[in-house]
């Protein structure tokens, strides 16, 4: 069996050194084992972020499924308990699970390929998030409220040290501003405000559900305030911001729209959106993909508070 990894997956595997190389070498055999265990026939590989090999599959009775084999990275969130607790509420259904693999509901195309305007995309994301937030955090054993802003403030400094010097020089002012905003968010941290958040609610993680509606995949499952998820919703559309004559005004309107749809504080939504835009750009650059990461950072430079 021949297996070809997506570029971002290859980059993550390379960062894992010998552990990643061993995983990639064993992946074809692992797929064969899972097919035998769960009675699957594999189809075509699917795009699936940076942390897994994802492939279409069918059960013996012809039911469509998606098989996901996880990269052995200890930094990855454990998504299976979130999917199990949700039982389809806002998320793809989980049918089978192993420590390194998930068998999930087959969904349609992601929102990012729908051609939706930013405003329509925000509506779909927020509507589905509001359903997903209904899943009680207590159903996921071991999940506790987390000061995500403090973690991101530390990540900003860690990741800026990993990017190319020219990139670090270009984005230093923006990164410093994001650090200040993250620390301000942390200072106002309220554990009681947390919900079971998706944690990475971007248009690539929201897929069309057969029969109508949408469902999320790839949850981090953090217990944080809803405004954090809304910040992730707003972190895309870098090109539109870069090409707009008044990026700050455009973004301010987006923030107002999303905050109103979710019943959230616009100031905190805007703060999370800025920090997420910067931290995402830095992370992707640190993975070795500056062509993908720099638009996040350059658009963030237009939004510095």
pLDDT tens for the chain, 305 residues long, are: 778 898 889 988 998 999 999 999 999 999 999 999 999 999 999 987 788 999 999 999 999 999 999 999 887 778 999 999 999 999 999 999 999 999 999 999 999 999 999 999 999 999 999 999 999 998 997 889 999 999 999 999 999 999 989 999 999 999 999 999 999 999 999 999 999 999 999 999 999 998 899 999 999 999 999 999 999 999 999 999 999 999 999 999 999 999 999 999 999 999 999 999 999 999 999 988 899 999 999 999 999 99
Question: Do the domain assignments include residue 218?
Answer: yes
The span from the CA of 29 to the CA of 54, in Å, is 15
- Name the helix (H) or strand (E) containing 157: helix 148-160
Nearest in space to 258 (alpha carbons), one of 63, 93, 118: 118
Nearest in space to 277 (alpha carbons), one of 219, 244, 234: 234
Question: Do the domain assignments include residue 153?
Answer: yes
Strands (E), 75-133: 94-98, 101-105
For residue 151, give its domain range. 111-301
| Residue 46 Rama label (left phi>0; alpha psi -120 to 50; beta) | beta
Number of structural domains found in the chain: 2
Judgement on whether residues 85 and 157 belong to the same structural domain of the protein: no
Q: 305: number of CA atoms within 13 Å, CB side? A: 18
Q: How far is CA 109 from CA 44, 141, 209, in A?
A: 14, 31, 9
The span from the CA of 289 to the CA of 273, in Å, is 21
Question: Do the domain assignments include residue 265?
Answer: yes
Last residue of a domain, one of 48, 80, 105: 105
The span from the CA of 39 to the CA of 95, in Å, is 12
This prediction's pTM: 0.91
78 near 220, Cβ under 8 Å? Answer: no
Judgement on whether residues 18 and 95 belong to the same structural domain of the protein: yes
Question: Do the domain assignments include residue 1?
Answer: no
The span from the CA of 278 to the CA of 23, in Å, is 31
């Amino acid at each position: 069996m021949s297996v070809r990894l997506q570029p971002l997956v290859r980059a993550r595997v390379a960062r894992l050194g010998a552990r990643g190389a061993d995983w990639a070498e064993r992946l074809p055999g692992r797929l064969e084992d899972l097919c035998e265990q769960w009675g699957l026939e594999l189809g075509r590989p699917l795009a699936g972020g940076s942390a897994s090999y994802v492939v279409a599959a069918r059960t013996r009775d012809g039911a469509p499924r998606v098989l996901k084999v996880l990269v052995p990275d200890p930094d990855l969130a454990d998504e299976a308990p979130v999917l199990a607790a949700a039982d389809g509420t806002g998320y793809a259904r989980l049918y089978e699970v192993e420590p390194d693999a998930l068998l999930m509901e087959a969904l349609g195309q992601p929102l990012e390929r729908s051609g939706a305007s930013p405003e329509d995309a925000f509506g779909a994301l927020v509507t589905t998030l509001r359903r997903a937030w209904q899943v009680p955090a207590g159903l996921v054993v071991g999940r506790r409220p987390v000061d995500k802003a403090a973690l991101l403030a530390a990540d900003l400094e860690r990741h800026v040290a990993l990017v190319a010097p020219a990139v670090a020089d270009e984005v230093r002012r923006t990164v410093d501003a994001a650090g200040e905003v993250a620390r301000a968010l942390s200072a106002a941290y309220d554990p009681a405000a947390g919900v079971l958040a998706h944690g990475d609610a971007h248009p690539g993680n929201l897929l069309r559900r057969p029969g109508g509606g949408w469902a999320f995949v790839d949850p981090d499952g953090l217990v944080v305030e809803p405004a954090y998820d809304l910040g992730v919703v707003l972190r895309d559309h870098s090109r539109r911001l870069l090409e707009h004559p008044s990026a700050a005004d455009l973004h301010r309107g987006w923030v107002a729209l999303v905050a109103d749809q979710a019943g959230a504080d616009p100031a905190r939504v805007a703060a999370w959106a800025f920090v997420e835009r910067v931290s995402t750009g830095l992370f992707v650059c640190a993975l070795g993909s500056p062509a993908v990461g720099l638009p996040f950072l350059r658009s963030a430079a237009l939004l510095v508070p």
